[in-house]
């Protein structure tokens, strides 16, 4: 493999994030922050030019995480220097699936609160302090990290502080940084006071717009050795005015450092042939069995039990980004057609109410279930026919990959990771779903109508399902791409 340099060695990487399954998981970052380091550790040296990637995960120690850290886990104490003075800090060490996991605990990282709260000062303080502590640990004698991998605004200050410290000689020049962007619009707004309190100076990078020099994400983007977006399409999109959140020109100026690597899917966790949540487990060979799951689901939802009626689904956060409003409007345009729909998730209360209203108006067709229910979501993936994802933007997205693996055909806005994972129906024999360009309710309705027509042509539909189920979404390929970055940085 020529892209991996011949200089064989063990690469030590500290992977920093503020949520990681199974310890603390709120959203998509949580899925990635365990699966990716785990996949990196599982790469065989022969695949990466004889190198070995020694990656360790580090998280803030919130109460849920603490609970699962066994009593026997080792702990040590150290002091972290901040603008607020010396902060006594404890670090717990444990292992999950053979991966060393470190949890940082201090008074600045409160217990028993949500990971993300509406108090941006407090969130700023805990995440920025966590970043300072992780960085201090990385240079502790014996640790000697080669790569610090930060994720989103919460830990973006690590590359920033690292670069500053290299300039003044506190940090070793050989230590490199990578910052992965999971969601560009979240830049750490409202954390200026926390930055100041912790003694972190604002950026003076003239390439950054003035407003961005005091926000953790742009500060990190300006200093990081490499920037990764979670899909190649999103990496291009964020360099355009439409998706760039006013950082497009800046990101474009760093395009030689910016690349896109698509996230993978935990194919053990998401496997319809072993998923006990399903009434009937199935694979491509036993796909015809899948219809039992659909009728059981229709029964559970108190909808007509008829496998000929196409069952549409939405699973996710009910907010503007995910386009649930477009689904509600589009379905209202299609009430004369035969279909059923289940909308599962929580989020914006106005949108939740609109989803419930749709159910009230069309009780024979619609179920709006306003809760987070991972068990039900599995039964929906394994029984529904079409997963609707009209996300206004989608850096990568996970639901479309799960849906394809479970024989549920995705229908999505052609954006970000949705473009990179779904092959549009058309004349394409490898098609796995439906993509539409303009993110409007009319376009969505038009595409749903097209999908409902294809649904009637059974061999066509089965081909779509099989193509999706056969796709390899495992983390292996993504881990190879990240390893390549670590090695050649
Ligand atoms: C964010 C993005 C989502 C991505 C996830 C993991 O939640 O919105 O598209 O899949 O991060 O990278």
Which pLDDT tens digit goes with each residue over 315-352? 999 999 999 999 999 999 999 999 999 999 999 999 99
The atom number, within ligand 1, closest to the CA of 29 reads 6
Whether the pLDDT of residue 3 is over 90: the answer is no
For ligand 1, mutation pick of 397, 399, 401, 418 (most atoms within 8 Å of CB): 397
The residue with greater pLDDT, 385 or 22, is 385
Which pLDDT tens digit goes with each residue over 420-433? Answer: 999 999 867 899 99
- Give the mean pLDDT of 126-151: 95
Tokens of 28: 């998509």
Residue located nearest, by CA, to atom 6 of ligand 1: 28
Whether the pLDDT of residue 374 is over 80: the answer is yes
The atom number, within ligand 1, closest to the CA of 397 reads 10
- So what's the pLDDT on residue 74? 76
Rounded to two decimals, the pTM is: 0.96
pLDDT band at 144 (very low <50, low <70, confident <90, very high): confident
Q: Which domains does the chain have, with CATH numbers?
A: 10-264+475-488 (3.40.50.2000), 287-470 (3.40.50.2000)
CB atoms < 10 A from the CB of 471, how many? 16
For ligand 1, mutation pick of 230, 235, 315, 398 (most atoms within 8 Å of CB): 230
The mean of the pLDDT values for the chain is: 95
Residue 142 Cα, ligand 1 centroid: separation in angstroms? 34
- Cβ 394 under 6 angstroms from ligand 1: yes
Residue located nearest, by CA, to atom 10 of ligand 1: 397
Which pLDDT tens digit goes with each residue over 284-293? Answer: 999 999 999 9
- So what's the pLDDT on residue 141? 86
Whether the pLDDT of residue 410 is over 80: the answer is yes
Which pLDDT tens digit goes with each residue over 458-487? Answer: 999 999 999 999 999 999 999 999 999 999
- Cβ 383 under 6 angstroms from ligand 1: no
Whether the pLDDT of residue 223 is over 70: the answer is yes
Phi-psi sector, 12: left (phi>0), alpha (psi -120 to 50), beta: beta
- So what's the pLDDT on residue 71? 60
- Cβ 398 under 6 angstroms from ligand 1: yes
- Cβ 230 under 6 angstroms from ligand 1: yes
pLDDT band at 70 (very low <50, low <70, confident <90, very high): low
CB atoms < 10 A from the CB of 361, how many? 12
Residue 260 Cα, ligand 1 centroid: separation in angstroms? 13
Distance CA 149, CA 175 (A): 11
- Cβ 228 under 6 angstroms from ligand 1: no
The atom number, within ligand 1, closest to the CA of 394 reads 9
- Give the mean pLDDT of 392-417: 98
pLDDT band at 200 (very low <50, low <70, confident <90, very high): very high
- Cβ 28 under 6 angstroms from ligand 1: yes
For ligand 1, mutation pick of 183, 410, 421 (most atoms within 8 Å of CB): 183
pLDDT band at 112 (very low <50, low <70, confident <90, very high): confident
- Give the mean pLDDT of 363-382: 97
For ligand 1, mutation pick of 185, 395, 415, 421 (most atoms within 8 Å of CB): 395
Distance CA 396, CA 417 (A): 4
Whether the pLDDT of residue 308 is over 50: the answer is yes
Residues near 472 by Cβ (< 8 Å), separated by ≥ 6?
none
Residue in this structure with the two tokens 């390439």, named with its chain if needed: 207
CB atoms < 10 A from the CB of 476, how many? 15
Residues near 395 by Cβ (< 8 Å), separated by ≥ 6?
181, 182, 183, 184, 229, 230, 231, 234, 416, 417
- So what's the pLDDT on residue 1? 37
Please give, one letter per residue, the 3-state secondary structure of 123-158: HHHHHHHHHHHHHHHHCCCCCCCCEEEEEHHHHCHH
pLDDT band at 107 (very low <50, low <70, confident <90, very high): very high
Residue 401 Cα, ligand 1 centroid: separation in angstroms? 12
Residue 339 Cα, ligand 1 centroid: separation in angstroms? 29
- Give the mean pLDDT of 389-414: 98
- Cβ 263 under 6 angstroms from ligand 1: yes
Residue 231 Cα, ligand 1 centroid: separation in angstroms? 10
pLDDT band at 7 (very low <50, low <70, confident <90, very high): low
- So what's the pLDDT on residue 110? 92
Percent of the chain with pLDDT over 90: 90
Which pLDDT tens digit goes with each residue over 259-274? Answer: 999 999 999 999 999 9
Nearest residue to 146 via CA among 33, 29, 261, 15? 15
Residue located nearest, by CA, to atom 12 of ligand 1: 182
């Amino acid at each position: 493999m020529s892209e991996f340099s011949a200089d064989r060695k063990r690469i030590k990487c500290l992977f920093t994030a503020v949520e990681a399954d199974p310890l603390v998981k709120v959203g998509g970052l949580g899925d990635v922050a365990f699966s990716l380091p785990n996949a990196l550790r599982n790469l065989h040296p022969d695949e990466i030019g004889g190198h070995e990637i020694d990656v360790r995960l580090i998280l803030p120690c919130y109460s849920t995480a603490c609970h699962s850290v066994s009593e026997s886990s080792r702990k040590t104490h150290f002091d972290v220097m901040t603008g607020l003075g010396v902060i006594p800090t404890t670090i717990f060490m444990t292992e999950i699936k053979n991966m060393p996991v470190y949890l940082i605990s201090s008074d600045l990282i409160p217990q028993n609160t949500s990971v993300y709260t509406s108090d941006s000062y407090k969130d700023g303080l805990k995440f920025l302090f966590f970043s300072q502590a992780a960085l201090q640990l990385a240079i502790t004698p014996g640790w000697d990290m080669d790569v610090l991998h930060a994720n989103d605004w919460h830990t973006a200050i690590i590359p920033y502080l690292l670069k500053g410290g290299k300039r003044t000689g506190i940090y070793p020049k050989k230590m490199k940084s990578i910052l992965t962007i999971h969601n560009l619009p979240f830049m750490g707004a409202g954390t200026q006071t926390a930055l100041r309190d912790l003694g972190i100076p604002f950026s003076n990078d003239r390439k950054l717009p003035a407003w961005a020099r005091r926000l953790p994400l742009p500060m990190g983007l300006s200093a990081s050795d490499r920037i990764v977006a979670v899909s190649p399409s999103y990496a291009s999109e964020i360099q355009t005015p439409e998706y760039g959140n006013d950082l497009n020109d800046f990101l474009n100026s760093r395009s030689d450092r910016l690349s896109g690597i698509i996230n993978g899917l935990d194919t053990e966790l998401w496997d319809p042939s072993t998923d006990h949540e399903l009434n009937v487990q199935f694979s491509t060979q036993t796909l015809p069995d899948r219809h039992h799951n659909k009728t059981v689901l229709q029964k559970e939802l108190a909808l007509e039990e008829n496998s000929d009626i196409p069952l549409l689904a939405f699973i996710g956060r009910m907010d503007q980004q995910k386009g649930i409003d477009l689904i509600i409007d589009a379905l209202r345009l299609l009430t004369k057609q035969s279909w059923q729909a289940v909308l599962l998730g929580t989020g914006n209360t106005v949108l939740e109410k609109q989803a419930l209203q749709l159910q009230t108006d069309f009780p024979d067709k619609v179920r709006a279930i306003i809760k987070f229910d991972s068990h039900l979501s599995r039964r929906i993936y394994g029984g529904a026919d079409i997963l609707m994802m009209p996300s206004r933007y989608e850096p990568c997205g996970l639901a479309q990959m799960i849906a394809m693996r479970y024989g549920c055909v995705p229908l999505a806005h052609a954006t970000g990771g949705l473009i990179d994972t779904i092959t549009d129906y058309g004349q394409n024999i490898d098609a796995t779903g439906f993509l539409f360009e303009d993110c409007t309710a009319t376009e969505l309705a038009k595409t749903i109508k097209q999908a409902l027509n294809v649904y009637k042509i059974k061999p066509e539909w089965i081909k779509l399902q099989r193509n999706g189920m056969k796709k390899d979404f495992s983390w292996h390929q993504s881990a190879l791409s990240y390893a390549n970055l670590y090695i050649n940085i």
